[in-house]
Structure 1
Amino acid sequence: MEKELIKVHPEDNVAVALKNLKSNTTVSFEGEDIVLTTDVKAKHKIALTTLHKDEKIYMYGVLVGSASETIEKGAVITTENVKHKTEKVTGKTETVNWNIPDVTKWKDRTFNGYHREDGQIGTRNVWLFFPLVFCENRNIEVLKEVFEKELLNEDVNKHRLLLRSLVNRDGTTDNSDITGDTVPVFDNIDVKFITHQGGCGGIRQDSESLSQLLAGYVNNPNVAGATVLSLGCQNLQIQILKDALNKVAPNLNKPVLIYEQQKMGTVEEMLNTIIKDSFAEIKKANQIKRKPAPLSKLKIGLECGGSDGFSGISANPTLGQVSDIITALKGTAILSEFPELCGVEQELVNRCVDEKQSSRFLQLMQDFEKSVVDAGSGFDMNPSPGNIKDGLITDAMKSAGAAKKGGTSPIVEILDYGEYVTKSGLNLLCTPGNDVESTTAMAGSGANIILFTTGLGTPTGNPITPVIKVASNSELALKMPDIIDIDTGAIIRGEKSIEEMADVLMEYIVDIASGKKTKAMELNQNDFIPWKRGVSL
């Protein structure tokens, strides 16, 4: 008989509906009959016992809310009858022993990556263009048109004619064959472009934070080199970027071309210089070839967006198993989105390798939540309308499922936003819960692959790091096949275990790390949103 309900943890007093259920239906569950007192949509939760006002509600074995009124056994829980509630955490209460997964089948596997001089391995070979200030966005867009379209052999303009003459190597500007099939001039490098609204106008800390992020992008193993545009008078001065680069990579040996418009005369002259210089370096970077590398060189970011009531029992635990496999192989995993760790702090604190890390985690969480409260909101406002509609009623409930992406391994380091990952193992990175702000940050902290779960459908990608989209349910995968890479719906149907699905995802990761394109890459989805923590002046 097909299962109708699932209880995630033995201590839970709610269960998840695996399909739509009607009121007055009798459901057999764990040896007893439960009469549903309300209609229950798939992904939503029902009370397994009568819950009186203020009684605690547990899911995933943690406190996720309390009853704001009496909830009858067999009734659906909603935002009207449940409120957000979490346990108070002050520090470590125990040391967690990790049951290391068997990784025999993976220990000798390799992927074909780009070997950098600092020992990092890229899954992509990207030449990156970005501005230090929003005033240069227009020039970045011009360069984007020139390089993307000309190197892909599309429409023509005068700047692209210059680049075409360089491509032809003979100084000619013949454009008779510019239209037609989009065959790249270079076969071993991507050219990507970032724009943003920062670099000036805010507080100085915003510019420093942005410089750290951009320095991380330059240092990311997927990046071969960069072209940087500065206006000259902005808060984010060139020296600030250089200081950030020196901090994250004192021995950086990548070409970084920096141009300051206020010192270069006309836009025309500046763009001509940038095109010539950048083309020469891109041509050199195209000569870097893929070579085998151990899976320990993978740095995976763990993200969820557009989550639903199945995310925490299918897609997210699959990522958690993959995270444990990667860390057992001495690779690196990054779990972010601090508002979506609210309610599971005790488990995470107990998994920290030492008191220093656990204390830093709690301090960053407290500081973040205080800033949200000071702004007139709170972490309890984190679930989106889409989350709530698909069964994630409280922030703690959403967080308990989201934290499953981090598996069960020890937490080796706590990083603030903009800090670069240096230790193998599971790292926690302080970011907002916003999908793009979080993926943007993980790439800036060194992730060379990002795994992104979704239950509702999210088309997020990143300019330098492949984003693998993992669906929590098969309905989504069938409805939006153009954005979904992996479907974990078989877990919900009982056809595959989490371990089996993790093996499927691991094989796909190896393929993507070796050069295969994700769906987000095929759609040319290149999202970049820095986190602006301060105010505008």
Structure 2
Amino acid sequence: MNHKTLQIHSTDNVLVALQDLSAGETFDHKGIIITLKESIPAKHKFAINELKKGDQVFMYGGIVGKALSIIPSGAVLSTQNVIHEAEDFGEKTGDYQWDAPDISKFKDRTFMGFHRPDGQVGTGNYWLVIPMVFCENRNVDIIKDAFLEELGFGKPNPFKKMVREMANLYKSGQTRAFDSVSVETMVETTEEKLFENIDGIKFLNHHLGCGGTRTDSQALCALIAGYINNPNVAGATILSLGCQNAQSSYMEEKLRLINPNFNKPLIILEQQVEGTEQKLLSRAIKETFIGMAEANTQSRESAPLSKLVVGLECGGSDGFSGISANPAVGYAADLVVALGGTAILSEFPELCGVEQELINRCVSDEKAERFSTLMRLYAAAAEAAGSGFDMNPSPGNIKDGLITDAMKSSGAAKKGGTSPVTDVLDYGEYVNTPGLTLLCTPGNDVESTTAMAGAGANMILFTTGLGTPTGNPITPVIKISSNHKLAERMPDIIDINTGFVISGEKNIQQMGEEILEKVIKVASGEEKSKAMILGQDDFIPWKRGVSL
């Protein structure tokens, strides 16, 4: 890789600017002399040879767009001269052969995790408090207020002191002194935890469970069941009103389907049975405390890396994500799979244009057909709602060089590495097969990470080029920057910087191995990711239907 431009694949007809380029600069690309017609911002693409109206644009070796007008050699690609276009897909062809990575550095490595009776191993030990319906959010909040500080799980809020100082200045008429007020760096609480083997008690509010379609309520029940079954969860308290669509009994059915031998403390209380809020809350708090005391008897023990289930996510992507952070995560995912572990690739709208490649990587025609069906159904639903996958790129994506969905998807899919696809799951289903699993979720960052944790992910790798403050309540999220500038500008949310790939200081293999080393440390409880330190506990179930 030179330090100014990159042709990702030999068949691509565009180059990526690795740094800001000036109009008039000249490049010799394989004997083709290219003179820039305009300044090209870093991360954006420009034509190698002239593209005529209707010509297809190729990146990563595939179609990512179509020219709307003549694009001269050396001219930038933009939303004004390129629209989304992607290759169609059909049946699985050929027998996929995988060149697995060298795992000699990791084959005898282990992590320290929490072994569950069903054979899963957690990278954390959390207690959950979840409502079956939004009506119980207030009661969940009351329990949260009662537990966190008393058990030593509270986090200091430095902004309270800031507001207090400003209030005092306001009272004394010194409003001009506001600029002198600053906030202290956020730090973790140093208060001693009562339950030393419990990593936290997490409270998951949401706005579903009633007033929507039965399908959405059933999906919510499946999601909650997945969270309870996640190996990072020691036990759970479920609050139900009683009359809502998302019945706790249906959630229990989903839980038995996921795990017939489920054996964790599970407290389910219905307000319409208990009576007053005081009775409900008193019982919930007492039984939760007892359950947590039981969960505290568990401790970390050595586990093989084959017990890792790693979710793969990207958000706030930029024009470098597909050539640095995503392929580095893909290499780490390949290492996990080669070690006998599991990786989860989701965000189906961001697989548009790479479907055939993934279909051909499926281990069976049945898996390939299911992926194809889920993709077509999702695309049709988006179009029926007046949208489509072509509308996926956000303003931030476009500003930083991802101008079509196929362009964004081609880079996003690199998170999935190169291993065979061993399973394909719909939203709310639970991972039970080692290897690479495709999970149907939206491209929405939090809806996707929420679903992966519900599918059993005990770690999540999250790449970003623009900066995304996202985490998960029960599954550690490791945030990976695609470029140096982001890592320097937002060090509070970035764990690993793969900008070294862009600057030529490290390669994809080196960064992938560095990512796996970080995974092992966080999985063992030796380190916390930035999302964990900041308490970024994001939880948004996917609402697919209408409200009724």
State the TM-score, normalizing by the size of structure 2.
0.92
Give the deviation of 1:96 after TM superposition.
2.1
Give the deviation of 1:153 after TM superposition.
7.7
Pick the aligned partner of 2:528 from 498, 517, 529: 517
Cα RMSD after superposing both structures: 1.3
- The answer to whether structure 1 residue 442 and structure 2 residue 452 are counterparts is yes
CA distance in 2, matches of 1:301, 1:504: 17
- The answer to whether structure 1 residue 266 and structure 2 residue 276 are counterparts is yes
Give SS of 2:519's match. helix
Counterpart AA for 2:521: D
- The answer to whether structure 1 residue 368 and structure 2 residue 378 are counterparts is yes
CA distance in 1, matches of 2:102, 2:364: 25
Provide the residue aligned with 2:9 in structure 1.
Answer: 9
Give the deviation of 1:2 after TM superposition.
5.9
CA distance in 2, matches of 1:308, 1:2: 19
CA distance in 2, matches of 1:30, 1:283: 67
CA distance in 2, matches of 1:154, 1:493: 41
Provide the residue aligned with 1:169 in structure 2.
Answer: none
Question: Within 5 A, what are the aligned runs for 1:453-472?
Answer: 453-472=463-482
- The answer to whether structure 1 residue 119 and structure 2 residue 119 are counterparts is yes
Question: Within 5 A, what are the aligned runs for 1:69-84?
Answer: 69-84=69-84
Q: Could you give the per-residue CA deviations for residues 268-297 of structure 1, whole angstroms, max 9, x where no partner exists? A: 121111111110110111110000000000
Pick the aligned partner of 1:425 from 402, 411, 435: 435
Give the deviation of 1:183 after TM superposition.
2.2
Provide the residue aligned with 1:174 in structure 2.
Answer: none
Q: Could you give the per-residue CA deviations for residues 395-431 of structure 1, whole angstroms, max 9, x where no partner exists? A: 0000000000000100001100000000000000000
Is the 8 Å Cα contact of residues 153 and 181 (structure 1) preserved in structure 2? Answer: no
Counterpart AA for 1:406: G
Could you tell me which runs of 5 or more consecutive residues in structure 2 were left unpaired when the two chains were aligned: 156-188
- The answer to whether structure 1 residue 188 and structure 2 residue 197 are counterparts is yes
CA distance in 1, matches of 2:216, 2:516: 37
CA distance in 2, matches of 1:377, 1:111: 44
Question: Within 5 A, what are the aligned runs for 1:325-336?
Answer: 325-336=335-346
CA distance in 1, matches of 2:393, 2:492: 26
Is the 8 Å Cα contact of residues 153 and 201 (structure 2) preserved in structure 1? Answer: no
Give the deviation of 1:254 after TM superposition.
0.5
**Identity over aligned residues, as a percent?**
58
Is the 8 Å Cα contact of residues 477 and 487 (structure 1) preserved in structure 2? Answer: yes
Is the 8 Å Cα contact of residues 441 and 530 (structure 1) preserved in structure 2? Answer: yes
Pick the aligned partner of 2:290 from 251, 267, 280: 280
C-alpha spacing 1:56/1:90, structure 2 compared with 1 (3 Å): same
Give SS of 1:43's match. coil
- The answer to whether structure 1 residue 256 and structure 2 residue 266 are counterparts is yes
Counterpart AA for 2:230: N
Give the deviation of 1:27 after TM superposition.
2.4
Give the deviation of 1:33 after TM superposition.
2.8
CA distance in 2, matches of 1:77, 1:225: 52
Provide the residue aligned with 2:462 in structure 1.
Answer: 452
Counterpart AA for 1:184: K
- The answer to whether structure 1 residue 234 and structure 2 residue 244 are counterparts is yes
Pick the aligned partner of 2:216 from 187, 206, 212: 206
Question: Within 5 A, what are the aligned runs for 1:345-364?
Answer: 345-364=355-374
Is the 8 Å Cα contact of residues 5 and 29 (structure 1) preserved in structure 2? Answer: no
Provide the residue aligned with 2:310 in structure 1.
Answer: 300
Is the 8 Å Cα contact of residues 468 and 520 (structure 1) preserved in structure 2? Answer: yes
CA distance in 2, matches of 1:142, 1:367: 41
CA distance in 2, matches of 1:435, 1:413: 22
Give the deviation of 1:354 after TM superposition.
0.8
Q: Could you give the per-residue CA deviations for residues 322-353 of structure 1, whole angstroms, max 9, x where no partner exists? A: 11111111100000000000000110110001
Q: Could you give the per-residue CA deviations for residues 171-223 of structure 1, whole angstroms, max 9, x where no partner exists? A: xxxxxxxxx96222222111111010011000111110000000000000000
- The answer to whether structure 1 residue 379 and structure 2 residue 389 are counterparts is yes
Deviates more, 1:353-362 or 1:264-273: 264-273
Is the 8 Å Cα contact of residues 57 and 63 (structure 1) preserved in structure 2? Answer: yes
CA distance in 1, matches of 2:228, 2:297: 19
Q: Could you give the per-residue CA deviations for residues 100-123 of structure 1, whole angstroms, max 9, x where no partner exists? A: 111011110000000000000000
Give the deviation of 1:36 after TM superposition.
0.1
CA distance in 2, matches of 1:199, 1:295: 37
Question: Within 5 A, what are the aligned runs for 1:143-162?
Answer: 143-152=143-152
CA distance in 1, matches of 2:89, 2:387: 21
Provide the residue aligned with 2:405 in structure 1.
Answer: 395
CA distance in 1, matches of 2:144, 2:14: 52
Deviates more, 1:24-33 or 1:209-218: 24-33
CA distance in 2, matches of 1:323, 1:144: 36
CA distance in 2, matches of 1:337, 1:115: 29
CA distance in 2, matches of 1:194, 1:228: 10
State the TM-score, normalizing by the size of structure 1.
0.94
Provide the residue aligned with 1:176 in structure 2.
Answer: none
Provide the residue aligned with 2:58 in structure 1.
Answer: 58
CA distance in 1, matches of 2:250, 2:57: 49
Give the deviation of 1:30 after TM superposition.
3.1
- The answer to whether structure 1 residue 88 and structure 2 residue 96 are counterparts is no
Give the aligned length: 513
Q: Could you give the per-residue CA deviations for residues 221-246 of structure 1, whole angstroms, max 9, x where no partner exists? A: 00000000000111111211111111
- The answer to whether structure 1 residue 527 and structure 2 residue 538 are counterparts is yes
Give SS of 1:431's match. coil
Provide the residue aligned with 1:162 in structure 2.
Answer: none
Is the 8 Å Cα contact of residues 477 and 531 (structure 2) preserved in structure 1? Answer: yes
Counterpart AA for 2:192: V
Give SS of 2:149's match. helix
C-alpha spacing 1:153/1:94, structure 2 compared with 1 (3 Å): closer
* Structure 1 residue ranges, 4+ long, deviating more than 6 angstroms after superposition: none
CA distance in 2, matches of 1:203, 1:226: 26
Give SS of 2:227's match. helix
Provide the residue aligned with 2:162 in structure 1.
Answer: none
Provide the residue aligned with 1:406 in structure 2.
Answer: 416
